Chain A
Amino acid sequence: MESTFYYELRSGAQKNWLLLDLVRNRFGRLRSPDRSSAGDSLKSAKAATSFLWLPSCVSGEILEIFFGMAAIYSLYIINKSGGLIYYKDYGSAGRMDTNDSLRVASLWHSMHAISQQLSPVSGCSGIELLQADTFDLHCFQSLTGTKFFVVCEPGAQHMESLLKFVYELYTDYVLKNPFYEMEMPIRCELFDINLTQAVQKDRVAFLGR
């Protein structure tokens, strides 16, 4: 472990080892003076970063890889007919190729629709949260039928407000772009930039807890 930086985000989480490799590959030798002092809970996230011996220019990116991006695995936007119009993954966990992401999108669209019909209460607006052993899926559907969902680590907080914010970004930087065609895949740079910032901001909130 001499040449590596280890921080266990959640006990037993395999993905951290993957991230570890990612960082090691990207930045070469990084060292932590004392592995044990990194702690094993979220609470010490701040402490864990503060003692790290790192050039300040790279620490931001490492933080992003380790903390912010670890909380959110991927983000999807699907249009009202179930087509995937935006997909972005963060970090190495849960990464998917294009076909798989399209499949997830249409699968989720159908499941969402079925859940509305199966629901015992009337006026159900579909699944909002799917909890699995290794991930949580938070979904937000706008009244116009566009669905936004994030796949994140189990127990990640504040995802509803993040999705709400992504919706606002979508209205600002996608729908207001005169060259964006409705219901088509989103290729808007401004949206990408602002989305990345939003996810980073989420990271800051995450560190602050």
Chain B
Amino acid sequence: MAPVAPRSGDAIFANVERVNAELFTLTYGAIVRQLLTDLEEVEEVNKQLDQMGYNIGIRLVDEFLAKSNVSRCVDFRETTDVIAKVGFKMFLGVTASVTNWDADGTCCSIVLEDNPLVDFVELPDTCQGLYYCNILSGVIRGALDMVSMKTEVTWIRDVLRGDDVFELQVKLLKQVPEEYPYKDDE
């Protein structure tokens, strides 16, 4: 069988079932609000959101691979490109761009101009340290973890903190070789 051509983010987005954007935004808002009530510390909430995102990411990556038909990426550049162009489109309905590559190609920024998560959000003074969309960074970290890339994802710019765009810095820490045995004897 001939390999199936990778599908574009738009094509997949058109085919998957979607929910009302407001429902999505409000649900996410409710989750963050509840976490703030439960954990009280903004730092803890950031951590928790990241962990939740990670747990989503490790499952989501398979859906992404199954539905987008992308094949193995040759390098980290291609990987981030696919995340920005196909991944974000497929799951959030927005397109991101990749910029600010460092010299050795292991660190870059994914820039989001539009982010449905923050449609109605204004950060109060008490929550200034909150990375409201920290779940997204967790998702990316989790998804890349499952395809043997250990990464660190941090927010550089955040519209809620007065910047003009959302900017996520993705840093490739190490690429785990996919060889057997998976450190069985350790």
Contact = CB atoms under 8 A, between A and B. Distances in A.
Whether A and B are associated in the same complex: the answer reads yes
A80 B182 CA distance: 10
A113 B62 CA distance: 21
B31 interface: no
B2 to A, nearest CB: 10
Given A113-B180, A160-B1, A143 B147 contact: yes
Interface string B163-186: 000000000000000101010000
B59 interface: yes
A144 B147 contact: yes
Nearest to A145: B178
B79 to A, nearest CB: 11
A161 B1 contact: yes
A81 B182 contact: yes
Interface in B51-83: 58-63, 65-67, 72
A144 B146 CA distance: 6
A176 B147 contact: no
A175 B62 contact: yes
A167 B182 contact: no
Interface of A: 80-81, 113, 117, 142-146, 158, 160-161, 164, 167-168, 170-172, 175-176, 182
A168 B182 contact: no
Contacts of B62: 142, 144, 146, 167, 170-171, 175
A49 to B, nearest CB: 28
Contacts of A172: 63
A106 to B, nearest CB: 13
Highest count of chain A CB atoms <10 Å: which of B4, B59, B62, B178? B62
B57 to A, nearest CB: 11
A138 to B, nearest CB: 10
Nearest to B60: A175
